[in-house]
Amino acid sequence: MSLKKKIILILSGLILLALLVLVLMPSPVPVSVAQVEQGHFEAWVEDEGRTRLRAPYTVSSPINGYLRRVELEPGDEVDAGDPLFELEALPAPALDPRAREQAREAVSAARSRLEATQAELETRETRHRQAQAEFERIQALRERELVSVEQLDRARTERDASRAAERGARHAVEVARFELEAARANLEIADGERARTEQPTLAVRAPISGTITRRHRCCEGPVMAGEEIMEIGDLADLEIRVDLLSMDAVRVRPGMRVEIDRWGGNTTLEGEVRRVEPGGFMRVSALGVDEQRVPVIVRLSSPREDWRPLGDGFRVEARFILWEGDDVIHIPTSALFRQADQWHVFVVHNGRAQLRAVETGRRSGLRTQITDGLDGGETLITHPGDRIEDGRRVQVD
């Protein structure tokens, strides 16, 4: 065989061997990657909250009465001392047929008592005139010493007694007349109607200057003492209540910075923790899981003009800044995985996955601080699967 043919055979074999190697070589695994960032980093917890008035005033009815229509509406501004609503006396209760018949009989009885007392008054007046005349006659006889002193004293006593009896009869007539008027009023009242004449009213006034946030009653009608009519508060003194999980609440301290987002405005509002309440409560989540929650109260520190549209009971999302620092290396938490009781990541270097151990620090949402093992700008594989191993060729998706 000539040299030329040997060279051709050797080259053909090498080509076939190279093709076989390429066919048998594992193909690159498509992966998603992210850059190792170095800069500002915040450790935070976030949850949904609701705005509320720090010192709301619930205005209720001080007495049982009839509420006149409330003209003020939610959103109206009031000054301290302004009238909020008015109360008047309750209408008389309706009379059923039996009660109405009894009222008629009461009127007849009162009229008869009046006539009887008037007749008694006439009798007493007659006796008093007779006793007065008898006293004057005996007094004249005594001046001429024709009767004794005892007779004069008896006449004077009889006169005084008859005068007192006449005065008592006159008072009895007045009482009977009042009873007749009361019985007539009870009979003449229309069933369940308010009085047609003007009557005094009680005006309930605003305890503070503020805004009406809620109106529980608007239409007229009977109200009971203590029944809530409306709520008033100062919207400039608005605060936020966030119910955090207890494991997050123990990391929050008064004075911590809070960012308020997703409240409807275009800016992120600033606030600070005013109080972490000492008592928690249990709440069932949407998935049916029992969660232990702790109320955390946040004070708004941004200028009032920035959050003027906010009102009482509005939904917001609050981010509590537990820790923050500059020049911090941080990566997506999804790039981390445990191996041999240590955290590892896959770094993409020259088209291959390189296994590297790292030391982690604080976690914040979807990102984690790296204290050792990575440099800023390196490329990591996020969500590494079981096909990724050290030295495996990868293709960035």
Whole-angstrom Cα distance, residue 38 to residue 42?
Answer: 12
Q: What is the mean pLDDT of residues 132-151?
A: 82
pLDDT for 154-182, tens place per residue?
888 888 888 888 888 889 889 888 888 88
pLDDT band at residue 26 under the 50/70/90 scheme? low
Whichever domain contains 252, its CATH number is 2.40.30.170
Residue 45's pLDDT band, with cuts at 50, 70 and 90, is very high
Is residue 21 a part of any domain in this protein? Answer: no
Whether 241 and 118 share a structural domain:
no
pLDDT, residue 25, reads 58
Check whether residue 254 and residue 375 sit in a common domain.
Answer: yes
350 and 327, same structural domain?
yes
Does some domain include residue 17? no
What residues make up the domain containing 245? 37-53+235-396
The mean pLDDT of 392-397, rounded to a whole number, is 82
* Structural domain includes residue 26: no
Whether residues 133 and 248 fall in one domain? no
Whether residues 373 and 258 share a domain: the answer is yes
Confidence (pLDDT) at 198: 67
Query: 157 and 181 share a domain?
Result: yes
- Do 206 and 331 sit in the same domain of this protein? no
Residue 115 included in any domain = yes
Of residues 300, 304, 218, 210, the one with CA closest to residue 261? 300
Q: Is the pLDDT of residue 292 over 50?
A: yes
Query: Is 140 within 8 Å of 134 (Cβ atoms)?
Result: no
- Work out the widest C-alpha separation in the chain, in whole angstroms: 198
Residue 300 has pLDDT above 60, yes or no: yes
Per-residue pLDDT, 149 = 81
Residue 332 and residue 215 share a domain: no
Q: How large is the average pLDDT for residues 386-390? A: 84
Rounded to an integer, the average pLDDT of 62-77 is 92
In contact, 203 and 259? CB cutoff 8 Å: no
From residue 137, alpha-carbon distances to 13, 130, 147 in Å are 173, 11, 10
Please determine, for residue 190, whether its predicted confidence score (pLDDT) is greater than 50.
no
Give the separation between CA 312 and CA 52, rounded to whole angstroms.
5
Do 155 and 139 form a contact (C-beta atoms < 8 A)? yes
* Centroid of chain to Cα 99: 46
Q: Is it the case that residue 195 has pLDDT exceeding 60?
A: no
Q: Which residue has the higher pLDDT, 240 or 89?
A: 240
Average pLDDT value for residue range 339-346? 90
| CA dist., res. 322 & res. 257, Å (int) | 8
Question: Which pLDDT score, from 0 to 100, does residue 287 have?
Answer: 86
Same domain for 176 and 320, yes or no, is: no
Angle between helices 97-143 and 149-188 (to 10 degrees): 160
Lowest mean pLDDT among 95-104, 320-329, 381-390: 95-104
- Give the torsion through C-alpha atoms of 347, 348, 350, 352, to 10 deg: 90
Whether the predicted pLDDT of 286 surpasses 50: yes
Contact 165, 127 (CB under 8 A): yes
- Residue type (1 letter), 312: D
CA 207 – CA 84 distance, rounded (Å) = 10
Q: Taking residues 72-76, report their average pLDDT.
A: 93
Q: How confident is the model at residue 345 (pLDDT cuts 50, 70, 90)?
A: very high
pTM: 0.65
166-170, 193-197, 382-386: least confidently modelled range: 193-197
In angstroms, the CA 348 to CA 355 distance is 9
Q: What is the mean pLDDT of the chain?
A: 87
Question: Measuring CA to CA, how many Å separate 94 from each of 54, 187, 240, 272?
Answer: 45, 11, 50, 59
Q: How far apart are CA 231 and CA 74, in angstroms?
A: 9
| Least confident segment among 62-66, 186-190, 259-263, 284-288 | 186-190
pLDDT for residue 314 is more than 90? yes
In total, the chain counts a number of residues equal to 397
- CATH number reported for the structural domain that contains residue 69 in this entry: 2.40.50.100
Residue 13 lies in a domain: no
Domain count of the fold of the chain? 3
Q: Confirm whether 297 is domain-assigned.
A: yes
Q: Number of H helices and number of E strands within the chain? A: 4, 23
- For residue 204, the tally of other CB atoms under 10 A from its CB is 18
Burial class (CB within 10 angstroms; exposed 0-12, middle 13-18, buried 19+) of 60: middle
One domain for residues 271 and 207: no
Q: What mean pLDDT comes out for the span 222-241?
A: 93
Mean per-residue pLDDT, 367-392: 88
Give the rounded distance of the alpha carbon of 138 from its chain centre.
Answer: 88
Tokens of 194: 């308010």
Per-residue pLDDT tens over the stretch 360-375: 998 887 899 999 989 8
